[in-house]
Amino acid sequence: MQAAILTFDGLTVLDAIGPYEVMRSVPGWEVRFVAPEAGEQRADSGSLGLVADHSLEEVGQPDIVLVPGGPGNRALLDDERVLGWLQASDRHTRWTTSVCTGSLVLGAAGLLDGKRATSHWLYLGRLVEFGAEPVRERVVVDGKTVTAAGVSAGIDMALRLVALEAGDEVAQAVQLAIEYDPQPPFEAGSPDAAPPEIVSVVRGAAARDDDWLRRASEAG
């Protein structure tokens, strides 16, 4: 099993690294980091780089494609080379997947048309622009298209994928190997669970940081 994780300048690193750590723990699975140009891609924070060893053209026909989120992926929404690579890859994948706002890139490639899909809760409504049906669930499986909610949801998605492909016992072994026994200190991980004032704070901070989200908020 070959997985290809798309990277780019301005990615949210945990979106990519959560599923990477799960998938690379499966015996026989290989995870490759790809980018339009191989080499260092800067995180959205600016404070570290991820090195993608492969350009898009080098990875052949991956069995799994994963698109992470991050402000840097706005530039991919009209990047014909990346969208063309996703379309071509999707014809051969077993699973075409995204984490967080990575689903918007799948949408821009026309791969979510008529499908149920999810995204980071702040951006979920934008999926309708791509003909998708937004679903507020942590992991949404529609045929071979699998989308995850924000950032940390990629861990749960990848464990689901491993279970679907390699069976429950392998997925359980991976979960134990990465000691994924989450104990979040608060009930605040989703807009339904978090106190309303916390939801407002995050919504406001995101809109201030993100021109794209602010325009959408002002428009909507």
Q: Are 69 and 151 in contact (CB under 8 A)?
A: yes
**Which two structure tokens, joined as six digits, stand for 152?**
């940390």
Phi, psi of 117 (to 5 degrees): -155, 165
Comparison of 114 and 196: residue with beta carbon closer to a copy of itself: 196
Q: Is 33 a catalytic residue?
A: no
Does 155 contact a copy of itself by CB under 8 A? yes
CA–CA gap between residue 108 and residue 100 (Å, rounded): 14
Task: Name residues contacting a copy of itself, limited to 85-144 (CB under 8 A).
Answer: 100, 120-121, 138-139
Residues 6+ apart with CB under 8 A from 26: 1, 162, 166, 170, 174
Does 172 contact a copy of itself by CB under 8 A? yes
Binding mask 178-207 for a copy of itself (x = CB under 8 A): xxxxxxxxx-xxxx-xxx-xxx-xx--xx-
Alpha helix (H) residue ranges in the chain: 13-23, 80-90, 102-108, 153-166, 168-177, 196-209, 211-219
Report, in Å, the least distance between residue 184 CB and a copy of itself.
6
Chain residues binding a copy of itself by CB under 8 A are 12-14, 17-18, 20-21, 24, 27, 30-33, 40, 45, 47-53, 100, 120-121, 138-139, 149-153, 155-156, 159-160, 163, 168-169, 171-173, 175-186, 188-191, 193-195, 197-199, 201-202, 205-206
